[in-house]
Amino acid sequence: MHPPHPARRRKLPVLVFDHVSKQYGEVTAVDDLSFEVPEGVIMGFLGPNGAGKTTSLRLVLDIVRPSAGRIEVLGRAPGQGARREVGFLPEERGLYRRMTARDSVIYFARLKGIRGAEARRAADRLLERVGLGGVGGRRIDALSKGMAQKVQLAAALVNAPRLVLLDEPFSGLDPVNQAVLEDIVLDLARNGSTVVFSTHVMQHAERLCHRLVLIASGRKLFDGTQDEARRQLPGRLQLTARGDPSGLPGVLRAEAEGGIGEWSDWQVTLAPGADPGDLLEACFARGLIVRRFEPHRPSLHDVFVHLVNPGGNGSGR
């Protein structure tokens, strides 16, 4: 199921990478990377471990500077001006362990320019939203890893950011809290924020993302929608018919898998860009009687493996 898409209007890019590279000595962490993130979308920033996702997010935050290329955040260069409208959840959690959950969120609110009672109200509201309303007075070192992560999520959202960057946000959360976080991400987009989250777990991207950028070894392999990503793989379907579908338009390969009597089972691979519906019409037009017609919709995991490790069996790490 696709996530609900934001209103169909022309949206200005909230984030722009224009031929960006980042080198550390002889190591190229980001390699000529270009993409845009429109306003109000949820974008999955995908790739295997070590692909350059975290370095790219640090470039957005001006924690590190690019070796080449241009970055634009909310219409301006990265830096303090843009940072006040950006929320960031790092993969490496950064809370003061002796502070309470509530004081931690208030502290980050003050860093973002929110003062006094407003900071306290925002902290209480967000702790309640992430399911920690009853533990605001407990110290971080007394919380579980998942609870501490949710405190840092509240801290990342305390300034009502226009752009939210989440680096591997689901790591360390149990399935119930992963679902809570997914709901929060969807709410952010509904309320007009733009969300970019990095992950190598495709199930979250499949449920949440309007757009995807996939990188490996610092280079972009794909940029587009989920449907466009799935079209990177040949379509496949299972067919039970009286006759051989091999010669039909759009069929790249048809492999017989047995059958009963005059009915034959086939595993059909379509040519790139071929539509299963067109094949079904061709069956009727050619008089091929069909009893079963089951298209297989590639998962994002299938696409990920295909693009990151073409011709291989692993997904890359």
- Give the total number of structural domains in the chain: 2
Residues spanned by the domain of 206: 13-230
Does one domain contain both 242 and 224? no
Write down the mean pLDDT value for the chain.
Answer: 89
Q: Are residues 159 and 108 in the same domain?
A: yes
Is residue 137 domain-resident?
yes
Q: What angle do CA 173, 176, 182 make, to 5 degrees?
A: 80
In a domain, 187, yes or no: yes
pLDDT tens by residue, 147-178: 898 999 999 999 999 999 999 998 878 888 88
Residue 197 shares a structural domain with residue 223: yes
Sequence letter at residue 128: E
Phi, psi dihedral angles at 180 (to 5 degrees): -60, -45
Cβ atoms 11, 190 nearer than 8 A? no
pLDDT for 6 beyond 80: no
| Residue 285: both structure tokens together | 């037009």
At 237 the three-state DSSP class reads strand
- Tell me which residue of 72, 69, 61 sits closest to 23, measured CA to CA: 69
Residue 60 binned pLDDT confidence (cut-offs 50, 70, 90)? very high
Once rounded to an integer, what is the mean pLDDT over residues 33-47? 95
Give me the amino acid identity at 144.
S
Helical (H) or strand (E) element with 239: strand 236-242
